[in-house]
Amino acid sequence: MMNVEAFRSSLKKGVARNNLFKVILPSITTNQGTIDPSTMNLMCRSASLPGRQMNINERIIGIPKPEKVVNGFQIDDMSMTFIMTNDYEAKRYFDAWTSLTMNFDSYELKYKFGSEGYAKQVTIIQLNSRGQEIYECKLEDAFPTTVNAIEFTNEQGGVVELNVQLSYYNWEGRWINAPDYAI
Protein backbone atom coordinates (compact mmCIF):
# COMPACT_ATOMS: atom_id res chain seq x y z
CA MET A 1 0.00 0.00 0.00
CA MET A 2 1.30 3.43 -0.93
CA ASN A 3 2.05 5.89 1.84
CA VAL A 4 0.79 9.31 0.67
CA GLU A 5 2.98 11.22 3.12
CA ALA A 6 6.10 9.38 1.97
CA PHE A 7 5.23 10.22 -1.64
CA ARG A 8 4.59 13.87 -0.80
CA SER A 9 7.86 14.03 1.14
CA SER A 10 9.78 12.63 -1.84
CA LEU A 11 8.53 15.56 -3.92
CA LYS A 12 9.71 18.27 -1.51
CA LYS A 13 12.39 19.47 -3.96
CA GLY A 14 10.00 19.38 -6.92
CA VAL A 15 9.82 17.36 -10.09
CA ALA A 16 12.46 17.74 -12.81
CA ARG A 17 11.13 19.58 -15.87
CA ASN A 18 12.21 18.60 -19.37
CA ASN A 19 12.02 22.19 -20.61
CA LEU A 20 14.61 23.53 -18.14
CA PHE A 21 17.95 22.96 -19.86
CA LYS A 22 20.67 24.77 -21.70
CA VAL A 23 23.12 23.74 -24.36
CA ILE A 24 26.63 25.18 -24.60
CA LEU A 25 28.04 24.84 -28.11
CA PRO A 26 31.68 25.47 -29.03
CA SER A 27 32.92 28.51 -30.92
CA ILE A 28 33.76 27.63 -34.52
CA THR A 29 36.66 29.28 -36.35
CA THR A 30 36.53 29.34 -40.15
CA ASN A 31 38.24 31.37 -42.90
CA GLN A 32 35.56 34.03 -42.38
CA GLY A 33 36.29 34.34 -38.65
CA THR A 34 34.97 32.95 -35.37
CA ILE A 35 31.30 32.17 -34.86
CA ASP A 36 30.10 32.64 -31.27
CA PRO A 37 27.05 30.42 -30.64
CA SER A 38 26.20 31.86 -27.20
CA THR A 39 22.71 33.07 -28.21
CA MET A 40 21.81 29.79 -29.93
CA ASN A 41 21.09 28.25 -26.51
CA LEU A 42 17.93 30.33 -26.44
CA MET A 43 16.81 28.85 -29.76
CA CYS A 44 17.47 25.22 -28.82
CA ARG A 45 13.98 23.70 -28.75
CA SER A 46 15.04 20.18 -27.83
CA ALA A 47 18.09 18.18 -26.86
CA SER A 48 18.65 14.92 -25.05
CA LEU A 49 21.00 13.59 -22.43
CA PRO A 50 22.88 10.59 -23.80
CA GLY A 51 22.72 7.10 -22.40
CA ARG A 52 24.88 4.00 -22.63
CA GLN A 53 23.98 0.57 -23.93
CA MET A 54 26.08 -2.11 -22.27
CA ASN A 55 27.42 -4.82 -24.61
CA ILE A 56 27.28 -8.28 -23.11
CA ASN A 57 28.57 -11.76 -23.86
CA GLU A 58 27.59 -15.01 -22.28
CA ARG A 59 30.40 -17.00 -20.75
CA ILE A 60 30.42 -20.47 -19.31
CA ILE A 61 32.91 -21.42 -16.61
CA GLY A 62 32.78 -24.84 -15.01
CA ILE A 63 29.19 -25.99 -14.78
CA PRO A 64 27.47 -25.10 -18.04
CA LYS A 65 25.36 -22.27 -16.66
CA PRO A 66 25.68 -19.21 -18.90
CA GLU A 67 26.52 -15.97 -17.17
CA LYS A 68 26.16 -12.56 -18.79
CA VAL A 69 29.19 -10.29 -18.53
CA VAL A 70 29.83 -6.81 -19.84
CA ASN A 71 32.48 -6.46 -22.54
CA GLY A 72 32.00 -2.84 -23.62
CA PHE A 73 29.40 -0.21 -24.33
CA GLN A 74 27.78 1.70 -27.15
CA ILE A 75 26.57 5.27 -27.29
CA ASP A 76 23.95 6.59 -29.68
CA ASP A 77 24.20 9.81 -31.60
CA MET A 78 22.16 12.64 -30.13
CA SER A 79 19.98 15.16 -31.86
CA MET A 80 19.07 18.77 -31.20
CA THR A 81 16.39 20.94 -32.74
CA PHE A 82 16.76 24.69 -33.13
CA ILE A 83 14.14 27.31 -33.87
CA MET A 84 15.43 29.35 -36.78
CA THR A 85 15.71 33.13 -36.59
CA ASN A 86 15.39 35.32 -39.68
CA ASP A 87 19.18 35.45 -40.01
CA TYR A 88 19.37 31.61 -40.01
CA GLU A 89 22.01 31.71 -37.27
CA ALA A 90 21.76 27.98 -36.46
CA LYS A 91 21.99 26.95 -40.13
CA ARG A 92 25.04 29.17 -40.70
CA TYR A 93 26.67 27.81 -37.52
CA PHE A 94 26.20 24.11 -38.34
CA ASP A 95 27.13 24.62 -42.01
CA ALA A 96 30.36 26.24 -40.81
CA TRP A 97 31.00 23.37 -38.38
CA THR A 98 30.43 20.71 -41.05
CA SER A 99 32.77 22.62 -43.38
CA LEU A 100 35.52 21.87 -40.83
CA THR A 101 35.10 18.13 -41.56
CA MET A 102 35.87 18.32 -45.27
CA ASN A 103 36.22 20.66 -48.22
CA PHE A 104 32.99 20.14 -50.13
CA ASP A 105 34.54 21.46 -53.38
CA SER A 106 37.72 19.34 -53.46
CA TYR A 107 36.43 16.50 -51.22
CA GLU A 108 39.57 16.82 -49.12
CA LEU A 109 39.08 15.44 -45.61
CA LYS A 110 40.17 17.59 -42.70
CA TYR A 111 41.59 16.75 -39.28
CA LYS A 112 39.38 15.70 -36.40
CA PHE A 113 41.70 16.85 -33.61
CA GLY A 114 43.91 19.84 -32.95
CA SER A 115 43.35 23.58 -32.97
CA GLU A 116 41.70 23.47 -36.41
CA GLY A 117 40.00 20.12 -35.87
CA TYR A 118 36.27 19.55 -36.03
CA ALA A 119 35.89 17.48 -32.83
CA LYS A 120 34.63 19.82 -30.09
CA GLN A 121 33.05 19.66 -26.64
CA VAL A 122 29.30 20.19 -26.30
CA THR A 123 27.71 20.62 -22.87
CA ILE A 124 24.08 19.98 -21.91
CA ILE A 125 22.91 21.22 -18.52
CA GLN A 126 19.71 20.34 -16.64
CA LEU A 127 18.27 23.19 -14.55
CA ASN A 128 15.91 23.02 -11.59
CA SER A 129 12.74 25.11 -11.25
CA ARG A 130 14.78 28.00 -9.76
CA GLY A 131 17.12 28.04 -12.79
CA GLN A 132 20.02 26.49 -10.87
CA GLU A 133 22.26 23.99 -12.63
CA ILE A 134 21.88 20.50 -11.19
CA TYR A 135 23.46 18.16 -13.74
CA GLU A 136 25.99 18.69 -16.51
CA CYS A 137 26.78 16.33 -19.37
CA LYS A 138 29.83 16.92 -21.57
CA LEU A 139 29.99 15.27 -24.97
CA GLU A 140 33.63 14.57 -25.78
CA ASP A 141 34.92 15.10 -29.34
CA ALA A 142 31.47 15.88 -30.73
CA PHE A 143 30.77 16.93 -34.30
CA PRO A 144 27.69 17.21 -36.52
CA THR A 145 27.08 14.17 -38.70
CA THR A 146 23.70 15.24 -40.05
CA VAL A 147 22.25 18.68 -40.67
CA ASN A 148 18.74 17.83 -41.79
CA ALA A 149 16.91 19.51 -44.60
CA ILE A 150 14.64 22.42 -43.68
CA GLU A 151 11.03 21.81 -44.53
CA PHE A 152 8.71 24.57 -45.71
CA THR A 153 4.92 24.33 -45.62
CA ASN A 154 1.94 26.58 -46.32
CA GLU A 155 0.78 26.46 -42.69
CA GLN A 156 -0.09 29.83 -41.22
CA GLY A 157 2.22 30.87 -38.39
CA GLY A 158 4.56 27.93 -38.84
CA VAL A 159 8.08 28.19 -37.45
CA VAL A 160 11.18 27.02 -39.29
CA GLU A 161 13.24 24.48 -37.34
CA LEU A 162 16.59 22.85 -37.94
CA ASN A 163 17.38 19.38 -36.63
CA VAL A 164 21.01 18.31 -36.31
CA GLN A 165 22.59 15.05 -35.23
CA LEU A 166 25.86 14.91 -33.34
CA SER A 167 28.27 12.01 -33.03
CA TYR A 168 30.75 11.97 -30.18
CA TYR A 169 33.42 9.74 -28.70
CA ASN A 170 32.06 9.48 -25.16
CA TRP A 171 30.26 11.53 -22.55
CA GLU A 172 30.83 12.45 -18.93
CA GLY A 173 28.11 13.43 -16.47
CA ARG A 174 28.66 15.51 -13.35
CA TRP A 175 26.30 16.46 -10.52
CA ILE A 176 26.56 20.18 -9.85
CA ASN A 177 24.26 20.42 -6.85
CA ALA A 178 24.55 16.79 -5.91
CA PRO A 179 22.03 15.13 -3.61
CA ASP A 180 23.44 13.23 -0.63
CA TYR A 181 23.01 9.88 -2.34
CA ALA A 182 24.74 10.78 -5.65
CA ILE A 183 27.15 8.26 -7.13
DSSP 105-133: TT--B--SSSTT-S-EEEEEEEE-TTS-E
**How many Å apart are CA 158 and CA 66, to the nearest integer?**
55
pLDDT tier at 66 (50, 70, 90 boundaries)? confident
Q: What is the pLDDT of residue 181?
A: 47
pLDDT over 70 percentage in the chain: 92
Q: Is the pLDDT of residue 142 over 60?
A: yes
